[in-house]
Amino acid sequence: MGQENSLPLVDENTPPQTLESRSVEAVGRMLKALEKKEEKGRVVVMTGAGISTSAGIPDFRSPTTGLYANLARLRLPYAEAVFDIAYFRSNPLPFYTLAQELYPGNYRPTITHSFVRLLHDKRILLKLFTQNIDCLEREAGVPDDKIVEAHGSFARQSCIECKTPYPQEGMREAIREKRVPRCVDAACNGLVKPEIVFFGEQLPREFFENRELPREADLCIVMGTSLSVQPFAGLPSLCREETPRVLINMEQVGGIGSRADDVLVLGDCDAGVRKLAEAAGWLEELEALWARTAP
């Protein structure tokens, strides 16, 4: 997995196998055709922090604006310690201080999140794989069973020792008060945290149970990710050779662009999604769906 990173871009004279052309317009026509199929088409979406930055949530690694670059106030031994399970065991308070800023409810979903919801409404979304922990896909209305949160999220919380679930309202209150909650089982009394995957923890079972789904996709859409963290980064390479892969991103990543049916839409994610929706004849519907997420 991840072997495509160094592959050259496909020669512009190489004809696509599936699309009419390597263009947003051709992908739009394909989306419309998948919607109209008697057996609905299957679209797999893969997303990263870039789809949430326009909501005001920083990505992790940008040199000056990223989350890790702005954690000096927490007095950490190193920036990533805030998401390190060993450090959390010894000092969980910095995470709960940061969580107050990142917790769901503080941010509005972007139009890109609403685009994923629209794919679900059209009954063509096979699965959304996301690296994000912000739950904005859920707030946009994408149902739980369509989401694989590869790095976990704030959607659930449990004891790190005995794995006993912790009430959502209790977690919301603890984060609001920057207080560290303890296991509901007094005999355990272990630390509780949201089921975000920290450094030193395994990815969720759901990721491994669903990781082969890209092989079944008619279309793959990758948005707002550097595709630099494995095993998530290897997902696009699992798509069949004839499956179109669309990258909506600030830069070309992950070897997408090396296959005959790869389409690059480089630039802002929200702008790219609007272009794609317009090509499918869905822009007005998408804007109306996004308007419903306004506070």
Terminal-to-terminal C-alpha distance of the chain: 41
Q: Are residues 176 and 145 in the same domain?
A: no
Q: For each of the chain's 295 residues, which pLDDT tens digit applies?
A: 444 656 788 988 899 999 999 999 999 999 999 999 878 789 999 999 999 999 988 766 555 555 655 566 677 888 788 899 999 999 998 898 888 888 888 899 999 999 999 999 999 999 999 999 999 999 999 999 999 999 999 999 999 999 999 999 999 999 888 889 999 999 999 999 999 999 989 999 999 999 999 999 999 999 999 999 999 999 999 999 999 999 999 999 999 999 999 999 999 999 999 999 999 999 999 999 999 999 8
Catalytic residue numbers, as ranges: 151
Q: What is the DSSP letter of 23?
A: S
- Is 248 a domain residue? yes
Q: What is the dihedral of CA 60, 57, 287, 239, to 10 degrees?
A: 20
What phi and psi, each to the nearest 5 degrees, are found at residue 165?
-60, 150
CATH code, domain with 213: 3.40.50.1220
E-strand ranges in the chain read 43-47, 125-130, 147-149, 152-159, 192-196, 219-223, 245-249, 262-266
Q: Coil, helix or strand for 126?
A: strand
Residue 63 lies in a domain: no
Alpha carbon 12 to chain centroid distance?
A: 30
What are the tokens at 86?
């060993």
Tell me the binding residues for Zn(2+). Answer: 159, 162, 183, 188
The predicted structure's pLDDT at residue 76: 82
Binding-site residue numbers for NAD(+) are 49-53, 59-61, 131-134, 225-226, 249-251, 269
For residues 43 and 175, membership in a common domain is answered with no
- pLDDT value, residue 59: 64
Residue 61 lies in a domain: no
Q: Assess whether 184 and 217 both reside in one domain.
A: no
String of DSSP letters for 26-93: HHHHHHHHHHH-SS---EEEEE-GGGTGGGT---S--TTTSSGGG-GGG--SSGGGGGBHHHHHH--H
- Per-residue pLDDT at 63: 55
d(C-alpha 40, C-alpha 173), whole Å: 42
What's the domain count of the chain?
A: 2
Is residue 169 in some structural domain?
Answer: yes
What pLDDT score was predicted for residue 104? Answer: 86
Q: What is the pLDDT of residues 235-273, one digit of tens each?
A: 999 999 999 999 999 999 999 999 999 999 999 999 999
Neighbouring-strand partners of residue 219: 43
Annotated binding site: 49-53, 59-61, 131-134, 159, 162, 183, 188, 225-226, 249-251, 269
CA distance 142 to 128: 9
Domain extent for 277: 3-56+109-151+204-291
At residue 67, the pLDDT reads: 61
What local confidence, expressed as pLDDT, does residue 282 receive?
98
pTM, entire model = 0.92
- Looking at residue 179, which CATH number applies to its domain? 3.30.1600.10
